[in-house]
């Protein structure tokens, strides 16, 4: 699989330096969210006044929307910076797949693309934080759905394969495939960078960064490949007890 570009540089070390920046960012985000809460509160009070003119109402709505977006950005920053707690325990893929499938169908339907998920029977348990693994999956799924949306009639395909079928063993391998523009290795590597996005200002550009950092924290490996108009994300998830 040498043609995959892996996010190995996003494996953050466990050190006092990382602990300091975790504390710093968490404190900063807490303070910043307090300020955003005040802005949201006052903008809501303004909007309750039916006597204000359209210009003032529009400004207050923009303040409220921006404050909510800033709060959401803060949440994304914590995950992308390695501040999310990961408690890796044995997880059975079959326990999470029904929710993954249902939510994925909603996401793809909202972007106007098809969706298909194939999981082999009898997949072994994996070592992961169930919630964080879901975060990685949905970051990959949303990225794929949004890219596929640019190609009418396209879909997102997800495969979950047992050890040894797609790799040398020791991992359950998750693949997410979608139609996309042609991307070289440099462009694939750049997509992992924080705040990089080709999808406009409505996107923070942190989805793949967060996926890469969370994967590294749980001992997984995340890679991207682009070939013949198809982008494939590969997440290698360690088998429990391996």
DSSP 30-67: HHHHHHHHHHHHHHHHHHT-TTS-HHHHHHHHHHHHHH
Place of tokens 């109402």: 57
Coarse DSSP helix, strand, coil percentages of the chain, rounded to the nearest 5 percent = 50, 20, 30
Helices (H), 115-242: 130-148, 185-190, 207-217
- Other CB atoms within a 10 A radius of the CB of residue 128 amount to 27
Which residues of the chain register pLDDT less than 50? Answer: 1-2
Select from 59, 72, 82 the least CA-distant residue to 13: 82
**Reduced to 3 states, what is the DSSP secondary structure of residue 153?**
coil
Q: Output DSSP code: residue 169.
A: S
Select from 84, 85, 67 the least CA-distant residue to 75: 84
Q: Are strands 155-161 and 114-119 parallel, antiparallel or unpaired?
A: parallel
What pLDDT, on the 0 to 100 scale, is given for residue 197?
A: 74
| pLDDT tens-digit series, residues 185-211 | 999 999 999 998 766 666 788 999 999
Select from 186, 178, 171 the least CA-distant residue to 221: 171
What pLDDT, on the 0 to 100 scale, is given for residue 161?
A: 97
What is d(CA 6, CA 95) in angstroms, rounded to the nearest whole number? 28
Per the DSSP assignment, residues forming a β-bridge with 155 are 114
CATH topology assigned to domain 87-238: Heat Shock Protein 90 (3.30.565)
What is d(CA 103, CA 105) in angstroms, rounded to the nearest whole number? 5
What is d(CA 90, CA 82) in angstroms, rounded to the nearest whole number? 21
What pLDDT, on the 0 to 100 scale, is given for residue 2?
A: 47
- Other CB atoms within a 10 A radius of the CB of residue 72 amount to 12
What is the widest separation between alpha-carbon atoms in the chain? 69
Share above pLDDT 90 across residues of the chain, in percent, rounded to a whole number: 86
Enter the pTM of the model.
0.89
């Amino acid at each position: 699989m040498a043609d995959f570009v892996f996010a190995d540089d996003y494996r953050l070390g466990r050190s006092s330096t990382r602990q300091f920046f975790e504390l710093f960012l968490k404190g900063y985000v807490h303070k910043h969210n307090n300020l955003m809460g005040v802005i949201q509160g006052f903008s809501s009070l303004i909007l309750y006044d039916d006597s204000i003119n359209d210009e003032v109402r529009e400004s207050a709505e923009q303040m409220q929307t921006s404050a909510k977006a800033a709060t959401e950005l803060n949440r994304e920053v914590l995950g992308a910076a390695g501040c999310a707690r990961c408690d890796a325990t044995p997880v059975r893929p079959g326990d999470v797949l029904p929710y993954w499938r249902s939510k994925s169908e909603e996401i793809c339907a909202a972007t106007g693309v098809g969706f298909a998920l194939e999981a082999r029977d009898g997949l072994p348990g994996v070592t992961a934080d169930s919630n964080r693994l879901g975060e990685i999956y949905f970051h990959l799924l949303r990225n794929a759905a949004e890219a596929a949306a640019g190609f009418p009639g396209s879909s997102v395909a997800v495969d979950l394969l047992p050890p040894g079928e797609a790799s040398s063993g020791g991992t359950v391998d998750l693949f997410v495939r979608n139609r996309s523009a042609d991307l070289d290795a440099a462009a694939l590597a750049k997509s992992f960078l924080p705040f990089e996005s080709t999808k406009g200002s409505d996107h923070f550009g942190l989805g793949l960064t967060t996926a890469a950092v969370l994967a590294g924290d749980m001992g997984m490996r995340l890679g991207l490949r682009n070939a013949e108009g198809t982008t494939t994300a590969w997440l290698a998830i360690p088998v429990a007890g391996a």
